[in-house]
Amino acid sequence: MAEPKLATCIVDDRSYPIEAGMFLYELEKPLYNQIKNEHHSATPKSFICDHHLLDYRIGRIDQMIHSDDLHNQRINRRLTKALQDDNYEVTDVNKILRDTQTFGERVSDAVARFGGSWTFILIFVAILVVWMFLNVTHLFGVKFDPYPFILLNLFLSCIAAIQAPIIMMSQNRSADRDRMDAENDFHVNLKSEHELRILHAKLDHLNQSQLPHALEVSRLQLEMLGEIRAEIERLRQEHERLNQSKEES
Ligand SMILES: [Zn+2]
């Protein structure tokens, strides 16, 4: 039987049959680099035994898990910080406006609401018609404002003069409400944007490191399984050989 080829393990300088290990050029780049970092004399033609290779592989897996973990923690810290930093309280615009409302403002709101309704127009038209009808027909002897209704004109002018500033007051209040709404929206948007940015970073990390790392881990596992299988095969052959030689003798 041919003498098995021997190679020297780069880690412990002992000789092993070449089936019991790998040459560094057969390894993946990251693993190779890691061995190279710790053993400066390593070249692609150096040999490493299965036992030490396993240590390096496990070390590599640990390293990937650890770096992913660190990165995740960093992103989570940023997210937490962003959430804590934002101490703007979203205000309840309706409540604030209701609480700070004065009696005059309440009245102006009510007047503006009533003045801008069909009810108001219909009542107003009805009053005008009745007023003119009474003063034209002199029904029941009423003629306090004969044609061309000068008193009515005076009333109408007064109502118009008062109504305009009241409506303006009410409009100012709705402008206040809009401004507060806009402020709320601005802060909420800002916060969402910030969170979105961090979530993006998280997703990028997941895509760009964690997923490739997970794949690499499973590749390392497959390699280890392959080696175990080869080892079992080798042992089985040896076993058969021993059995044969036992039968022969
Ligand atoms: Zn070794």
Q: pLDDT per residue over 77-96, tens digit each? A: 988 888 787 777 778 888 88
φ, ψ of residue 22 to 5 degrees: the values are -140, 155
The residue with tokens 């009808």 is: 133
Give the model's pLDDT for residue 2. Answer: 55
Q: What is the mean pLDDT of residues 197-212?
A: 90
Coil/strand/helix, residue 85: helix
CA 164 / ligand 1 centre spacing (Å): 96
CA 8 / ligand 1 centre spacing (Å): 8
CA 14 / ligand 1 centre spacing (Å): 7
Length of the chain in terms of residues written: 249
- pTM score above 0.85: no
Q: Place 245 in a pLDDT band, splitting at 50, 70 and 90.
A: very high
Residue 99 pLDDT greater than 80, yes or no = yes
CA 11 / ligand 1 centre spacing (Å): 5
* Separation CA 210–CA 215 (nearest Å): 9
CA 238 / ligand 1 centre spacing (Å): 22
Give the model's pLDDT for residue 227. Answer: 85
More confident residue, 122 or 29: 122
Distance of CA 116 to the CA centre of its chain: 45
Q: Place 1 in a pLDDT band, splitting at 50, 70 and 90.
A: very low
Residue 4 pLDDT greater than 80, yes or no = no
CA 21 / ligand 1 centre spacing (Å): 8
Residue 148 pLDDT greater than 50, yes or no = yes
Percent residues over pLDDT 70 in the chain = 98
- Cis bond before residue 148 (omega within 30° of 0): yes
